Amino acid sequence: MTGTRIPSPPVPAGLPGLPTTDTGGSPGGSPAVRAADPGRVLGWFRRHRVLLALVLVLAVVAALSVFARPRQDSEPLSPDNAAPDGAMAVAEVLAGQGVKVQHPQDLAEAYAALDANPGATLLFLDPREFLNSEQREELADEAGRVVLVAPSFAQLSDFAPDIRPAGVVPDDDAGQSAEARCSDEDAQAAGTVSAGGQSYRGPVTCFPSPGAEGTDPAGSYAATRGGSAVVLGSPDLIANATVTDEGNAALALRSLGADETLVWYQAGPQDIAAAEQPADPFDYLPPWVYPLGAWLVLVAGLAAFWRGRRLGPLAEEPLPVVVPAAETVEGRARLYRGSNAVSHAAANLRAAAMTRMAAHLRLGPGADADAVTMAAASATVRSYTAVDHLLNQSMPGTSAELVRWTWDLQDLEEEATSL
């Protein structure tokens, strides 16, 4: 057993008074072990328990305010609006009396509700006239009975053509009590209502203004003879703030609760798209726009192809060597000589000499060969015939003749330009 070391038993981790060791040899354990310690997590929760409780309470209140909020809106005369300009009071009372109040959110839902409830009463509210005549006529055909609140002339024409608008109730009479003064049962049950809003005339006209006179006064309530259409001239007859005035509540409840189902429809901007699809803006373009557009597209395509083929602007590169002019002349002469182009070389020499003499003698760029010949003869002691023969008549045919002719031409140019 000599030389054999017996290992000590392992020490359980976490015993008080004994340090723990990690693989790195540092006491206290690694950061990962400390972060996973349940005691440290519980300690953090104890220190922040007040803040966590407040956050939890705020979350619960926010959830309740969002999900437990009663169905309500701010649209005037809406059955879900409890504000003074809403009509929730009338809707709730009707529902309590067994009337099924449906509030469609758009025109399609209104059609569906009327189709599912044949003979139902339709309360139509469209003060901003979002619907067109065709839609209103279709609603009138679907509904068994229609109640209108302060309708316009166009709405009356579609729903109740027998009823006509008669103007606005005078300000002096607004708010006063208006008596029924008709034989309609609903109006008789209400007794009096608060005057105001619009006035109408129809087969049945009730509640004329207190100051109205004549045998056929206009009133705040009008109906057809069979009662298929009823007109309430003022929104105050069903609004929450004024429904309890006079007999407003009785008139509103009897007018709206005559059937088992009431479809409370308020037209909105969302129904405009269902009525009239917006026009295609391309329909307003003139007919020449399309061929012009096709031509522009073709030209743009060709221009893109033309410019796209080039890799960039042309760049000038310097020549590797500078060639003296004398070497260029000598090289061209060797080419003429190698091809035996005597006449071509003579023509070049003649043209160059005449150009220089014309410039020296100030003949101008438009001078012809005869003018240069005469000017050269005048500037020298030679005759016109001799100068003309040298410049225009005699042309060398061989290389030797070209050399002699070149010397004679050079002598003439020196004489003409020496002055």
DSSP code per residue over 74-109: --TT-TT--STTS-HHHHHHHHHTT-EEE--SSHHH
- How many C-alpha atoms does 410 have within 13 Å on its Cβ side? 6
Q: For residue 234, is pLDDT > 80? A: yes
Among 45-59, 81-95, 127-141, 342-356, which is the least confidently predicted range?
45-59
d(CA 84, CA 244): 12
Q: Is the pLDDT of residue 63 over 70?
A: yes
pLDDT at 261 (0 to 100) = 94
The three-state secondary structure class of 124 is: strand
Mean pLDDT score of the chain:
82
Q: Confirm if 232 and 148 have CB atoms less than 8 A apart.
A: yes
pLDDT value at residue 37: 65
More confident: 70 or 396: 396
Q: Are 248 and 89 in contact (CB under 8 A)?
A: no
pLDDT grade, residue 13 (50/70/90)? very low
What is the per-residue pLDDT for 279?
60
Of the ranges 114-128, 142-156, 317-331, which one carries the lowest mean pLDDT score?
317-331
Q: How many Cβ atoms are within 10 Å of 415's Cβ, its own excluded?
A: 15
| Confidence (pLDDT) at 170 | 83
Res 22 pLDDT > 70? no
Q: From start to end of 216-367, where are the E strands?
A: 219-223, 229-232, 261-266
For the segment 122-148, the average pLDDT, to the nearest whole number, is 92
For residues 417 and 330, give the distance between their C-alpha atoms in angstroms, rounded to a whole number.
25
pLDDT band at residue 122, thresholds of 50, 70 and 90? very high
What pLDDT, on a 0 to 100 scale, did the predictor assign at position 232? 94
pLDDT at 88 over 80: yes
**What is the mean pLDDT of the segment spanning 47-57?**
84
- Give the Cα separation of 189 and 207 in Å (integer): 12
Give me the percent of the chain exceeding a pLDDT of 70.
85
> Judging by DSSP bridges, how do beta strands 204-208 and 219-223 pair with one another?
antiparallel
Query: Which residues does 357 contact at the CB level (< 8 Å), separation at least 6?
Result: 372, 375, 376, 413, 416, 417
Give yes or no for a contact between 256 and 92, defined as CB atoms under 8 angstroms apart. Answer: no
Predicted pLDDT at 349: 87
